Structure 1
């Protein structure tokens, strides 16, 4: 069997296919590279005007889902109408329910500025108007007019009473009393008792008549007082109107196209008159409250709380919320503590990410959303109702009965984009019936893309976009070629390119660092190689410790000679994102028994379920080839030597079957070859993962113990397309120091490992003599003959 040609071990980029000299000559890619399916899903969701067409972006971390989505949205979001400004203002009829104003972009800020200018003028002008001589004279005149009317009426009653020898006196403020007089002094109880019955009766009649008249007068005085109050209020209104009327009229004219604003200004006009104390009384307490609220603008009652402000030229909002807590998402109402009392008002309402993204797009991580208490339910409620209601979390939890605000709900029109892995997506699909209704679009991101000359050119543009975005040095075409080859290595396929943008971006950053360290003005291939080497060195401490154990002999491996029942299997160990090949010795022993294959790893609970499945499959292969007519009287045991942790996966099943066949036939296996691959029940070799790391791991082991020129690795033929080996291995293959073989069946593998033909059965199921399977068949027949002989002897002894 011939080893693989060097061209099969690595697929290099052909520089002649690149029409550019560096990424400086390329237009940065603005689309989502290699994500046509996800891009179509996003385009469809953006175009759908109906509710429920939110997006769940599925893909593993590091694919650059967020970056690619932001790039796409920033390019295409301008197709939608610009969102509105949102303001909260006082509700003069119901203070606990502030009103919301929806205004065109930029107008909310203008209204806020106009109201602040208006209030700053009125705060000065209104007190001045009420301190003016004109107002004071009119107020004094009005007061004197009604005071004279009151005094005249009461004086008439008093004179009439005096003629009847009765005095009218004021007993309480606003209360009057009629008293019978005894000369110049009021009658006492004693003097009144000394009067005759007729005199007392006369006084009582007079006082009763006078009381009736006094009540009529007092009612008239009360009407005059109300009339005075109304006229004084009218005077106040005229005074306020003389100061504020023209200013508010100008604002109403300015905002006449916006009915809600005009209605609000009308309410402000009426409320100023009803709450003149805000402008006229000492405002020290209000100033202290404003200071506690970190807001010095006065008065707060007429402020405009600009919740969301858009510039006129601003595009549709694209908001990323990295910490989707309840308050960060839905907004909240702040409280101010003043003199031990907690206050709040509409000016302390604060927006959340949903408010900022309203009319646009909100991007969040699904796991972070699900981790926050009550956020997922609140989010679904908002999406269903298409409104945003600001409620305190304490109220949601019913932990506090504190009186708070109930702001008017804001209409919600947002496209929500969640990023998450497939497991989370499946859990939501299975356990949340509302999820499918609210997130009808799934953007399924690819891990890889096909590698063709056209896609390589597109990938080069993707690299150019990363260079521009990260402000890195540009790459020459050899550096681009090396990066593309590294991408194929990450994809573990010669005809694929990895779309794991995080790894590619990290490689470019580190290459940029080494290029700048060397004083270069562009990233060249050696800088990329140095970045890869440096990253490998930083992560390879455990790998180096393992290879050191091979070097000092504490890990027992042999890369020379041939041994019965012993083989080198290839495995991969992952340590925090860094993977390396780790050769392991697998041994097998045979003994007389009932045909079982004992998996020591499984029996001691160090074997995973997939590994146990692989052992059962090779047991089935043995039974179908050597025990289809008679039972096998030879049992075997398998183990990974010097393995003290769990073993899983079926990539060693080919090696395990080969070593079992060696033990059954007592034919030695070459130790200068290492094997990886899984098998099915028909003996076909199936592909496995990590084939590059496995080959490189055995090559390193052979280098430590000395290269002989006969050493090599055996892999499944279906894994040849996955080969993107390191330069050290390629150089050794070129110089004839190392080889890589591919096999399709178990028969090809054992022939390469043992040097003997496996053998093909004839019509009677007999394998030719001298073949590996023929040797095993002969040995098993001998054991069966021995078993029959023993059975005959046993029957004879029982008959005797």
Structure 2
């Protein structure tokens, strides 16, 4: 043949670690990387977004799971110097003494929030003791008794005067058991009874009633005076209490006001608190036990709830808050207001406001998963609203999810300064861009994470450092040089390329963990290549149930396949079967049959709706190539029926189009195709071979079936030449090729495949519209087609004569 199969050195690119000092024998002597390898583009995007202080420069990190997106961002942020970054603040909620339904926000410098809370707690503890003591002394009692005596004397004098006036009129003024005043006509020393009153003359009765009426009027006037005197007494008592309280409050609160004199909001709150304590001394003096008990009902400190400080966010000494929200439901993101129960009474106040992730990340970075955010109701809208307004308002957000209408608080909004980093895949990114016009304005920076990186001596050395960082971080056994090489080769296989390395760090980390387990189980001191191989074997064994089931169908003959001899219109194509955590290759038999027709190719898979649109496109392309080869001067008088035998599921993709063309040409020429050679690859309208995916799995799948059906030295696989760079085959296949017992051919054009499969030259026209050489495959097929055309013409002429 004009071209030879690939040599074994083309099938696998081993790692030499040429870029690594030969003195380095293991990861123990390698400096771990402090950043994720191969993600320079994404890192620059994160750096840019963090440097932009304007609104809307939040980040959407695109990439599949396992690329180390979060790890890279975390490592960058750990090194990030927030020089020039907005200063951090602690945020506290306190009661609004004018309207308790709208708690106030206090903004304090970083670390001051907790200190202010402790200062207020200490103040309250001192007031709880000092105020009752200030009122529990002889001076206070003397003053209070004097005021009370003055009131009692005036009341008694007024009542005495009225009593004397009533007695002069033979009327008694007395107090009932209920505490009310009563005027009663007297019959000597005893009150008149109904009977004795009726015995009086009409005039006497009228006089008594008139006198009682006049006295009742005077009594009402006296009672009104009592009320006025009592109010004046209470005012005097209140002023006296306030004077006593002021002496205590000024002594205790004024120093606190001086300490926080630089913070206007805090000072204003302390002034308001000073005034409120003066007006609500009963809270400290226990004048109403039920009210006092409720006011002290607290989940934390034994102090009046009214004067507590709810430190919502305390940044402590951190340079910049970095929050990862694993469960981004509404309350976890935006915070919430709890309810408390005391003696059957449900209540809520500012001290029950709880922080969400946005509160904790305020002034820093919040990282969340995009899909989880979109799965939670109201969260995405609430997040956009917060980013647009740059405020966190609990009340307006709570109303989004509350149906009962029982929200009792409307806390003051907190200014928001945060960078949001959404982690998601490309499909979610496209959906948001397409369906949410606000998305582009709020997430202006895209950090696009790479799936792979170029493989070179330098990048292999970096990858070795990356392996070292995983080993050090997880405190594993160190990898020797051979293990590092094997892991790098595994990475290239994961990337399906000899000149690429996979950046799916999760796969590498998992392999290292399993290799570490194998090494420790064998009491080894280092992870060696044999341990990595064993870990890979163990993993495959766990996930290959479906592959074993498929291969069993070849063993017991359920799936028909030939790996020897030659058959007309039949060929072995290659496909890949994928599960969530494993993929493998398996051959499929494709057959083509012909019958008289107008040159159409009937795709049976498409007719029964088992073929996808890409597969149908591949069939139409090969039909166009067939028309170019055999239909230059006349229609092709044959129709072809094409199918994947024993296919009961869907089929898609165009990687079988070269195999399908070879089967059709075989049926046209009635030339058998070798069954010991399988083929994969797509083609264009000019017959050029195009690359396909999963080439390693496809080759390995056919090799395994050949082992099952019986190996011989002529077996092999045809692949597109452009797929040579993807070859990272198993060691047993590389050895078989090296020994000459298995072959892999890389072709540029479908005619080369036809020649390999038939053992004859494909054929080429010397001049346009000239017939093919009759000894070639195309020539033989053309001769049969011409003969069929002549037969058709003869039949038509005979029918005319009849």
- Taking structure 1 as the reference length, what is the TM-score of the superposition? 0.92
Secondary structure of 1:15's counterpart equals coil
Aligned to 2:113: 108
Q: Determine if the alignment matches structure 1 residue 486 to structure 2 residue 457.
A: no
Distance 2:702 2:185 in 1: 130
Q: Determine if the alignment matches structure 1 residue 238 to structure 2 residue 243.
A: yes
1:595 pairs with one of 578, 593, 599: 599
Distance 2:553 2:149 in 1: 112
Q: Are residues 572 and 205 of structure 1, via their aligned partners in 2, closer, same or farther at CA, if it must alter by over 3 Å?
A: closer
Distance 1:186 1:73 in 2: 95
Question: What's the CA shift for 1:164?
Answer: 8.0
1:314 pairs with one of 311, 318, 323: 318
1:784 pairs with one of 780, 789, 793: 789
Aligned to 1:736: 740
Q: Determine if the alignment matches structure 1 residue 749 to structure 2 residue 753.
A: yes
Distance 1:388 1:179 in 2: 70
Aligned to 1:17: 19
Residues 65-464 of structure 1 mapped to structure 2, 5 A cutoff: 65-76=69-80, 78-79=82-83, 80-152=85-157, 161=165, 169=173, 194=203, 215=221, 223-281=228-286, 294-295=299-300, 297-311=302-316, 313-391=317-395, 395-397=399-401, 399-464=403-468
Q: Are residues 291 and 422 of structure 1, via their aligned partners in 2, closer, same or farther at CA, if it must alter by over 3 Å?
A: farther
Which deviates further from its counterpart, 133-142 or 563-572? 133-142
Contact 1:759 1:774 in 2 (8 A): yes
Distance 1:59 1:213 in 2: 90
Residues 492-641 of structure 1 mapped to structure 2, 5 A cutoff: 492-641=496-645
Distance 1:631 1:679 in 2: 22
Aligned to 1:719: 723
RMSD of equivalent CA atoms: 3.0
Distance 1:276 1:149 in 2: 28
Question: What's the CA shift for 1:685?
Answer: 0.6
Secondary structure of 1:380's counterpart equals helix
Q: Determine if the alignment matches structure 1 residue 767 to structure 2 residue 772.
A: yes
Unaligned runs of at least 5 residues, structure 1: none
Secondary structure of 1:759's counterpart equals coil
Question: What's the CA shift for 1:153?
Answer: 5.9
Question: What's the CA shift for 1:379?
Answer: 1.3
Distance 2:213 2:622 in 1: 131
Which deviates further from its counterpart, 587-596 or 416-425? 587-596
2:696 pairs with one of 660, 667, 692: 692
Question: What's the CA shift for 1:569?
Answer: 0.9
Secondary structure of 1:434's counterpart equals helix
Contact 1:32 1:72 in 2 (8 A): no
The number of equivalent residue pairs is: 791
Distance 2:293 2:467 in 1: 58
Show CA shifts across 1:468-496 (max 9, x none): 33232222222222111111111111111
Contact 2:172 2:186 in 1 (8 A): no
1:33 pairs with one of 13, 30, 37: 37
Q: Are residues 735 and 284 of structure 1, via their aligned partners in 2, closer, same or farther at CA, if it must alter by over 3 Å?
A: farther
Distance 2:191 2:722 in 1: 128
Secondary structure of 2:705's counterpart equals helix
Question: What's the CA shift for 1:676?
Answer: 0.3
Show CA shifts across 1:91-132 (max 9, x none): 111011111111112211111122222222322333333333
Distance 2:254 2:147 in 1: 29
Q: Are residues 579 and 403 of structure 1, via their aligned partners in 2, closer, same or farther at CA, if it must alter by over 3 Å?
A: closer
Secondary structure of 1:391's counterpart equals helix
Contact 1:318 1:361 in 2 (8 A): yes
Unaligned runs of at least 5 residues, structure 2: none
Distance 2:295 2:503 in 1: 54
Question: What's the CA shift for 1:758?
Answer: 1.1
Question: What's the CA shift for 1:790?
Answer: 1.2
Question: What's the CA shift for 1:250?
Answer: 2.1
Distance 1:258 1:644 in 2: 76
Question: What's the CA shift for 1:375?
Answer: 1.2
Distance 1:398 1:468 in 2: 49
Distance 2:701 2:407 in 1: 69
- Taking structure 2 as the reference length, what is the TM-score of the superposition? 0.92
Distance 1:555 1:533 in 2: 26
Show CA shifts across 1:649-695 (max 9, x none): 11111111111111211222222211000011110010000000011
Aligned to 1:5: 7
Q: Are residues 11 and 163 of structure 1, via their aligned partners in 2, closer, same or farther at CA, if it must alter by over 3 Å?
A: closer
